[in-house]
Amino acid sequence: MEAILNDITKLKVDAIVNAANNSLLGGGGVDGAIHRAAGKELVMECRSLGGCKTGDAKLTKGYNLPADFIIHTVGPIWRGGYNAEAELLARCYRKSIQIAVAKEFESLAFPCISTGIYGYPKDKAAEVAVKTCSEELENSSYKISSLNIIFCCFGQDDYDIYQQILNKS
């Protein structure tokens, strides 16, 4: 697992994860950037998926992105922390990794799900992300070394938080 500071739409990996909304039809933030970079065919495929529940994840092709596939997941909206936000956020990371393992992907890049428009505190979200991903890699029968997980931070603040957590784990 590693953290990088980059625009996720620029990464040439097997799959990038999109922090989408329940409609899967595009939105602001990273979702908007991914749809713009992937092109119109993405929304056509997304329309056929019938939306996505919070904490669930669905796979599409990457179209014009350098990444081959996109795993769309819907993070929770932060409502103070007592509304199952941590469990729902953990489920986003778990489900995305399960799809990547099932497809035998070797590289998977996550944005900082829920920490933009959805308001999840950045440090708390990063703790959930790193803990869930390392647990899921250990639980899967997939060789840990076979899936490289990249936390793609868009701001220096997020990057610093991830570096600190990864360095102590």
Q: Which of 144, 53, 64 is nearest to 95 (CA)?
A: 53
Contact flag: residue 85 with ligand ADP (CB under 6 A): no
Instruction: Establish if 154 lies at the interface with ligand ADP (CB under 6 A).
Output: yes
Q: Binding of ligand ADP at residue 66 (CB under 6 A)?
A: no
Rounded least distance, CB 72 to ligand ADP, Å = 11
Distance CA 128, CA 110 (A): 13
- Tokens representing 96 are 């995305």
Q: Which residues contact 54 (CB under 8 A, 6 or more apart)?
A: 22, 74, 75, 76, 88
Q: Least distance in Å: CB of 32 to ligand ADP?
A: 8
CB-CB contact of 94 with 128 (8 Å)? no
Which one, of 61, 58, 65, lies nearest residue 9 by Cα? Answer: 65
Q: Locate the DSSP E strands across 10-144.
A: 15-19, 57-61, 69-73, 107-110
Q: Is 31 in the site for ligand ADP (CB under 6 A)?
A: yes
In the complex, minimum distance from the CB of residue 50 to ligand ADP, in angstroms, rounded to a whole number: 20
Min separation Cβ 45 and ligand ADP, Å: 20
What is the spatial distance between Cα 51 and Cα 23, in angstroms, rounded to a whole number? 5
Q: Does residue 17 bind ligand ADP (CB under 6 A)?
A: no
Binding mask 100-139 for ligand ADP (x = CB under 6 A): -----------xxxxxxxx---------------------
Q: Does 7 bind ligand ADP (CB under 6 A)?
A: yes
CB of 8 to ligand ADP, least distance (A): 4
Number of residues that bind ligand ADP (CB under 6 A): 21
Which residue lies nearer to ligand ADP by CB, 105 or 162?
A: 162
Structure tokens at 118: 């959805």
**Residue numbers at the binding site for ligand ADP (CB under 6 A):** 7-9, 19, 29-31, 33, 75, 111-118, 152, 154-155, 158
